[in-house]
Amino acid sequence: MRDKKTSNKSNLKLFVTILQKDIKTEIRQVNDIFSVILFGIISIFIFSSSYNTINLGSSMPIEIFVTQIWLIIFFTLIFIMIKLFVQEKERGTLDGLATSPVSKNILLTSKIVFCFILLSFIELILILFSFFISIPSTQALNHIEILYYILLGIVLPTLDLSVCGTLVSALSMYSKNKSFVLPLLLFPIILPITSPIISLNIKLLEGELLSLVLMEILFVVAHAILMFSILILVSEELLSE
């Protein structure tokens, strides 16, 4: 029992060490993140100005607002996926991790959390910016509804996307044509959750009851669990050449 506790503690330490290293490395190459944020902001701006030109300044329907945001987030994920395993593999540092006594599951979990942190940070800026620029026709939500929207509409799908992104990044790192393989693999993996995520966001922004979004929540949770299980099951093969 004590051995298990000690082992869990040391695993947690290793997890935190790898995560800290990833965050520190990312902060030192802040230009990469800026370029991703810039891409998102420009995309939102183009969407909004096109909509305003056609609809003469009327506020954007929630359906279009949510679709534009998640479309941009899906593309952003491709940029982040490169940072997870592909970049480490190309630089050779992944072998440094592979030759150290760190279990592959710890490595994968730390990459999922890193992807989640990075994606959440970018989403935060993009969603705030798009609320300001696109001015969606949402009704006034109370504090609880806003909390539900953040937790179930943003955090939960982001977690699912982070698992998918890590899986795809690990799957494609040995491929010769990574820029082609990454989106090609990501598309079928995230396709089943695009509709539930968008529907979940629309319903939550419309202030619907939780019981009415239960199916979407269950679908996203089930997808995340399935992808995580696949990731853990194939971790040995994924991280060996």
Partner 1 sequence: MSFNMNKSDRILLECDNVSKQYGFFFALNKISFNVKENTILGIVGANGAGKTTLIKILSGLRSPTSGKVLISGMNYKDNNRDIKRLIGTISSKSFLYEELSIYENLKFYSKLYSVYEKHEFKEKIEQYADKFNLSDWIFEPISYLSTGMKQKVEIIRILIHNPSILLLDEPFSGLDFNSIKLLIKILNDLRENENLTIILTTHKIEVIQQICDAILILKRGKINKFVPKTEMNKIKIESYF
Residues near partner 1 (CB under 8 A):
10, 13-14, 17-18, 21, 24-25, 28-29, 91-93, 95-103, 240-241
CA distance 153 to 147: 9
Residue 176, CB half-sphere, CA atoms under 13 Å: how many? 0
Evaluate whether 166 touches 112 at the Cβ level (below 8 Å).
Answer: yes
Min dist CB 172 to partner 1, Å, is: 19
Closest to partner 1 by CB, 107 vs 168, is 107
User: Which one, 15 or 65, has the nearer CB to partner 1?
Assistant: 15
Q: How far is the CB of 139 from partner 1 (least distance, A)?
A: 45
65 vs 14: CA distance, rounded Å = 40
Q: Could you tell me the smallest distance in angstroms from the CB atom of residue 121 to partner 1?
A: 18
Closer to partner 1 at the Cβ: 10 or 58?
A: 10
Amino acid identity of 18? I
Of residues 43 and 169, the one with the C-beta less far from partner 1: 169
CB of 15 to partner 1, least distance (A): 11
Q: What one-character DSSP code corresponds to residue 212?
A: G
Are 127 and 69 spatial neighbours (Cβ–Cβ below 8 Å)?
yes
For residue 60, what are the CA distances in angstroms to 99, 153, 202? 52, 19, 13
- Our CB check for partner 1 shows the closer of 28 and 176 to be 28
CB of 233 to partner 1, least distance (A): 18
Cα–Cα distance for residue pair 55/98, rounded to 1 Å: 55
